[in-house]
């Protein structure tokens, strides 16, 4: 599958004046990387938004630069908290021949009967996994199949994942990935069942009343 492409234009406007670029539908950007001098650019905001929604921070992008095409990842994106406008983008230039590390998002896939019936609540314990691989082998996300959680006692760990030989997971294999816990309704039903199995306790007040009555009758005799 070919990488998505973005065209970056040289940028001469810096500082507070970049607001003008944003009003014109452009996003200020910069590139960096090992052995790569930091340079400033600009690119079309709408086009970047479309690409970013597909690749996130773990998908390779072909950057069309004045000096040629370079492979890169989105390193950081600044977004306005209210308008959600892109304020600035940092791209990380990579060497496709050199392994790198990345934090890859964890996503749940599949279905689980406990969750579907409303008996259980799914908990994903880790939002990302730290991995090492060649840039082209970095997965865009890591899928956790929740159908493998058979009951409330089952815990999926990092060691249960199979990402192949090209990706090394640096996160501890003992870390819990996903669990399903009883929903509130399920927990309440279990508590009621346990109480019914124990049976109803004798009321202390009944014995107390009987003792009092016997004592009164003894005094009257």
The reply to whether 117 and 183 lie within a common domain is: yes
Look at residue 89 and tell me whether its pLDDT is greater than 90: yes
Q: Which one of 79, 94, 109 terminates a domain?
A: 94
The reply to whether 59 and 115 lie within a common domain is: no
The reply to whether 130 and 186 lie within a common domain is: yes
Order of strands, edge to edge, in the sheet holding 100-109? Answer: 142-145, 100-109, 128-133, 168-169
What is the extent of the structural domain holding 26?
4-94
Q: What is the CATH number of the domain that holds 123?
A: 2.170.120.20
The reply to whether 16 and 52 lie within a common domain is: yes
Number of independent structural domains in the chain: 2
CA dist., res. 34 & res. 100, Å (int): 11
Q: What is the CATH number of the domain that holds 55?
A: 2.40.240.10
pLDDT for res 208:
44
Percent of the chain at pLDDT exceeding 90: 74
CA dist., res. 175 & res. 27, Å (int): 39
pLDDT digits (tens, 9 = 90+) for 90-118: 999 999 999 999 999 999 999 999 999 98
- Length of the chain, please? 221
pLDDT for res 70:
96
Instruction: Confirm whether 202 is domain-assigned.
Output: no
The reply to whether 152 and 172 lie within a common domain is: yes
Task: Give yes or no for a contact between 173 and 155, defined as CB atoms under 8 angstroms apart.
Answer: no
Task: Give yes or no for a contact between 88 and 80, defined as CB atoms under 8 angstroms apart.
Answer: no
Sign of the CA dihedral with 31 first, then 37, 42, and 47 last? negative
The reply to whether 43 and 110 lie within a common domain is: no
The reply to whether 10 and 82 lie within a common domain is: yes
The reply to whether 74 and 112 lie within a common domain is: no
Segment 57-63 mean pLDDT: 96
Task: Give yes or no for a contact between 102 and 140, defined as CB atoms under 8 angstroms apart.
Answer: no
The reply to whether 122 and 177 lie within a common domain is: yes
Three-state secondary-structure class, residue 81: coil
Name the phi and psi angles at 20, rounded to 5.
Answer: -65, -40
């Amino acid at each position: 599958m070919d990488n998505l492409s973005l065209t970056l234009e040289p940028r001469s406007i810096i500082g507070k004046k970049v607001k003008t670029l944003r009003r014109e539908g452009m996003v200020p950007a910069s590139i960096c990387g090992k052995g790569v001098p930091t340079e400033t650019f600009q690119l079309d905001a709408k086009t970047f938004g479309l690409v970013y929604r597909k690749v996130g921070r773990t998908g390779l992008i072909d950057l069309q630069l004045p000096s040629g095409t370079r492979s890169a990842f989105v390193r950081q994106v600044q977004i306005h908290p209210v308008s959600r406008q892109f304020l600035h983008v940092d791209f990380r230039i990579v060497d496709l021949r050199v392994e790198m590390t990345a934090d890859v998002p964890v996503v749940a896939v599949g279905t689980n009967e406990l969750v579907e019936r409303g008996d259980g609540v799914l908990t994903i314990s880790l939002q990302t996994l730290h991995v090492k691989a060649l840039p082209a082998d970095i997965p865009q996300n890591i899928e956790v199949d929740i159908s493998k959680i058979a009951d409330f006692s089952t815990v999926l760990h990092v060691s249960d994942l199979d990402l192949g030989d090209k990706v090394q997971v640096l996160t501890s294999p003992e870390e819990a990935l996903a669990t399903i816990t009883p929903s509130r309704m399920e927990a309440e039903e279990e508590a009621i069942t346990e109480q019914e199995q124990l049976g109803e306790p004798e009321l202390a007040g009944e014995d107390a009343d009987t003792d009092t009555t016997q004592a009164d009758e003894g005094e009257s005799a």
